[in-house]
């Protein structure tokens, strides 16, 4: 198999929004990635899932969002594996399944700053490099990170998208519109299934 450069977008995607998609598309273009694979976590290590929305529903929203981009794929490997979703386990599984691919982990600035707390970060940083994008309100402080992490993070510019899933859930709960903050197909899915409503 041809060597492919694959970006990995991990997250809870509760729900997926245009910030995730623009980050992935920016990384794909600027870092010459062949594809970006979106991997919804089953149980994220450092935060809680929103009750009432299943992993299957988060995965289905990701599938809806990626429909129009043939370079984007949704993978349900963390949902299938269950338990706490450690990126290290996921990357090892992917490298085992696809030994000829090179993987790049795409992460926003909030996650860059907490990289030292990631499970088995030293081993993970040996296996992948990170493509970092800045999120409004979360300045990246690379100097605060250990040298072995700094050496593995490449920062790329991306348009500032001040959107989070937390803000989207809050808006829906408050009866406010989230149209255009999520792709149309995700918006329809959320409405059809009454997700995040009060």
The nearer residue to ligand ATP, 13 or 72, going by C-beta atoms, is: 13
Minimum Å distance from CB 164 to ligand ATP? 4
The nearer residue to ligand ATP, 14 or 25, going by C-beta atoms, is: 14
| 94: nearest Cα among 75, 115, 108, 80 | 75
Binding residue for ligand ATP, selected from 6, 20, 25, 28, defined by CB under 6 A: 20
Helices and strands (DSSP H and E) totals, the chain: 9, 6
Binding residue for ligand ATP, selected from 39, 115, 133, 181, defined by CB under 6 A: 133
The nearer residue to ligand ATP, 20 or 101, going by C-beta atoms, is: 20
Residues in contact with 157: Cβ distance below 8 Å, sequence separation at least 6, in sequence order: 26, 30, 134
The total number of residues shown for the chain amounts to 198
Give the binding site for ligand ATP (CB under 6 A): 11-14, 19-20, 23, 107-108, 110-111, 133, 135, 161, 163-166
């Amino acid at each position: 198999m041809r060597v492919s450069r694959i970006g990995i977008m991990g997250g809870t995607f509760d729900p997926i929004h245009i910030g995730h998609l623009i980050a992935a598309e920016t990384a794909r273009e600027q870092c010459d990635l062949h594809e970006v694979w979106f991997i919804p976590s089953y149980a994220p290590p450092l935060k809680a899932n929103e009750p009432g929305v299943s992993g299957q529903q988060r995965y289905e929203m990701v599938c809806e969002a990626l429909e129009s981009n043939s370079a984007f794929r949704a993978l349900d490997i963390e949902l299938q594996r269950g338990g706490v979703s450690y990126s290290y386990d996921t990357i090892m599984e992917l490298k085992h399944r696809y030994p000829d691919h090179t993987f790049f982990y795409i992460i926003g600035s909030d996650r860059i700053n907490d990289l030292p707390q990631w499970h088995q970060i030293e081993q993970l940083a040996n296996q992948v490099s990170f493509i970092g994008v800045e999120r409004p309100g979360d300045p990246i402080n690379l100097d605060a990170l250990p040298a072995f992490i700094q050496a593995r993070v490449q920062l790329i510019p991306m348009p500032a998208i001040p959107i989070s899933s937390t803000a989207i859930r809050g808006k829906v709960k408050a009866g406010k519109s989230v149209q255009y903050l999520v792709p149309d197909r995700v918006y329809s899915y959320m409405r059809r299934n009454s997700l995040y409503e009060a």
